[in-house]
Structure 1
Amino acid sequence: MSISHPSTGPAAAVIGLGSMGLGMAKSLLKAGFTVRGCDVSQAAKDRFSQAGGQVADTPAEAAKDVGVVLCVVINSTQTDGVLFGKNGAFQAMRPQSVFVSSATMAPSEARRLAGRLAERNIHYLDAPISGGAVKAADGALTVMASGSRAAFEKAEGLLAAIAAKTYRLGDAPGIGASVKMINQHLAGIHIAAACEAITLASKLGLDLPTVYEVITASAGNSWMFENRVPHILSGDYTPLSSVEIFVKDLGILQDMARMERFPAPLAAAALQMYLATSGAGMGGDDDASVARTYAALSGASLPEHRS
């Protein structure tokens, strides 16, 4: 483990230093925590070290002798690897510490992970997040959390540092994951709808900046329309949130709906657009790239893509 800075405040580990995890780790530093960070990317670890954090080479090193471990990876598979893979955090975490999981996953996966941690008396807080990289860096996320009272108590300081709002949704892991999937259900549909609408406006020969101005002042507006359409207008598809995120999340949503025998046709239609966009080679681009798929299918013109 490489230690670049002295320890001063309460200790936490952050595993996963991507755009969200790095912002959350920085928020903890601002709140006075001593933070040990770990990521598979050396560049990510270097950025964290430059921000004043300590760097660990493995999840086990990051988790050793800290009371709370925050995991900010993509899905349950990566979370499982962080915990139980080679040099995983599970064996290094001390009993009565808490593992805060912020990955988007199926509720059944959250319950499975919590059950395995309970074997060593480690608390699991099911704590998916919303708000994006900017709010992560500002310590202003929304956290949708469920877990035992002890898990909440042990993670209280960390949650206060990373979130503007923490919703305590229940005492059972899986509730937080379920609420996050409802959020992703709506977010995925709203982004696809925004892309469809603005590309149709182009096909109709309308002035797109004017359409954007009118819609954002009208009843048809949504947070996603207001946030994502500027990416399309500028031709900038730098991945603030990638297409593949919604391939994954709406895929999970469809699996959940099928298990419940619940029809979700709007989510299914949106998922097809994300799949088509990914299949066209834009999976790593911003999710507003769905508009480019609509344009390719319809012959509509969008502002030139800035590479």
Structure 2
Amino acid sequence: MTTNVAVIGLGAMGLPMATRLAEKFTVTGFDIAAERVALAAEQGVQGAASAAEAVAEANAVLVAVRTGAQLHDLLFGDAGLATHLADGSVVILTSTVGTDGIDEIAGRLAEHGAQLVDAPLSGGPVRAGAGDLLIVVGATPAALEVARPVLDQLASTLSIVGEKPGDGQALKTVNQLLCGVHIAAAAEALALADALGLDREKTLEALTAGAANSFMLGNRGPRTLQAYDEDGAEVLSRLDIFVKDLGIVGTAARAAHLSTPVANAAEQLFLLGEAQGLGELDDSAVIRVVAPHRLS
């Protein structure tokens, strides 16, 4: 039975996930920033002096990294976290890193008596703290049995999409293709409404009530309307995340010899946004690539 959980990285997502898990499990957290460890301690999370110390007694270890290379380095590089994992434990990968190298990482973890649970998630910090995340999972039945209580505590929607690590990454790649395209399309649509002299608030209300609606239009639309404000929209998902994720989509599509021209076009908008210094803004700021200045 899973009772001890380690969370490596107590950033924007790691901290609320650790806090949520601490409601049910004994949770130990580590972050290179001491102030984040102290903040987690105020929320019932035990602090550790190192990542190795954090995972020593854990049945399940949550990690959030930006790339597959970072995951490889964390587990098998200088940190060598894999050598400190408890026998029979699972490493739960919550990041979107693509499928490249996942088989190798899972194989090397098995040599250390641990298993990889491929569980990329969506939802943002507020939903993480409320246990309201969407998580897609690829894992062996044995690994899933260990990880399931942790995943259930974090997710309102848990989709088991395959029985091997990499299946979760594959589905999340497909998901991010659609999300990136929908955000870019919403930006173009609202920029066109502006150019045609329409009231953008009324336009958004009408669009979300009809067949043109999508989750991303309804979710990002109101923030898109704030993109030209002095402070911009609240940052709930950074623009440069879609630079990374649509790059993963492109890599996967090329490997499959599949043409994805619409995703490629959306990727160019996000790349331009990053080049224009918008990378740290909310991804809804991509409208400023289409229309640098509000037209009406």
TM-score range (shorter-chain normalised) is over 0.9
Offset of residue 141 of structure 1: 1.1
Match of residue 54 from structure 1: 46
Once residues 42 and 265 of structure 1 are traced to their aligned partners in structure 2, the CA distance between those partners, rounded to angstroms, is: 45
| Alignment partner of 1:45 is 2:37 | yes
CA contact (8 A) 1:242 1:287 kept: yes
Match of residue 11 from structure 1: 4
Point out where structure 2 has 5 or more consecutive residues left out of the alignment.
none
Residue identity opposite 1:61 in structure 2: E
CA contact (8 A) 1:15 1:38 kept: yes
Aligned partner of residue 62 in structure 1, secondary structure? helix
Out of 17, 20, 27, the position equivalent to 2:20 is: 27
What is the aligned-residue RMSD (CA, Å)?
1.6
Point out where structure 1 has 5 or more consecutive residues left out of the alignment.
1-8, 303-307
Once residues 295 and 59 of structure 1 are traced to their aligned partners in structure 2, the CA distance between those partners, rounded to angstroms, is: 45
Once residues 36 and 282 of structure 2 are traced to their aligned partners in structure 1, the CA distance between those partners, rounded to angstroms, is: 20
1:241-268 Cα shifts (integer Å, max 9, x gaps): 1111111111011011011110000110
CA contact (8 A) 1:139 1:163 kept: yes
Q: How does 1:113-128 map to 2 (within 5 A)?
A: 113-128=105-120
Match of residue 277 from structure 2: 281
Aligned partner of residue 291 in structure 2, secondary structure? helix
Aligned partner of residue 267 in structure 2, secondary structure? helix
Aligned partner of residue 169 in structure 1, secondary structure? strand
Q: How does 1:139-158 map to 2 (within 5 A)?
A: 139-158=131-150
Out of 83, 94, 97, the position equivalent to 2:75 is: 83
**1:170/1:197 Cα in 2 relative to 1: closer, same or farther (>3 Å)?**
same
Match of residue 301 from structure 1: 295
- Identity %, equivalent residues: 39
Q: TM-score by structure 2 length? A: 0.93
Of 79-88 and 254-263, the range deviating more from structure 2 = 79-88
| Alignment partner of 1:98 is 2:90 | yes
Match of residue 4 from structure 1: none
Out of 242, 249, 255, the position equivalent to 1:253 is: 249
Out of 57, 60, 67, the position equivalent to 1:68 is: 60
1:151-195 Cα shifts (integer Å, max 9, x gaps): 011112111111112222222111110001011111011111111
Residue identity opposite 1:250 in structure 2: L
Once residues 124 and 266 of structure 1 are traced to their aligned partners in structure 2, the CA distance between those partners, rounded to angstroms, is: 33
**1:203/1:101 Cα in 2 relative to 1: closer, same or farther (>3 Å)?**
same
Of 258-267 and 156-165, the range deviating more from structure 2 = 156-165
| Alignment partner of 1:267 is 2:263 | yes
1:121-154 Cα shifts (integer Å, max 9, x gaps): 2111111112222221111212111111110111
Q: TM-score by structure 1 length? A: 0.90
Aligned partner of residue 19 in structure 1, secondary structure? coil
Aligned partner of residue 100 in structure 1, secondary structure? strand
**1:81/1:40 Cα in 2 relative to 1: closer, same or farther (>3 Å)?**
farther
Runs of 4+ in 1 over 3 A off after TM superposition: 299-302
Q: How does 1:157-176 map to 2 (within 5 A)?
A: 157-176=149-168
Once residues 283 and 43 of structure 1 are traced to their aligned partners in structure 2, the CA distance between those partners, rounded to angstroms, is: 25
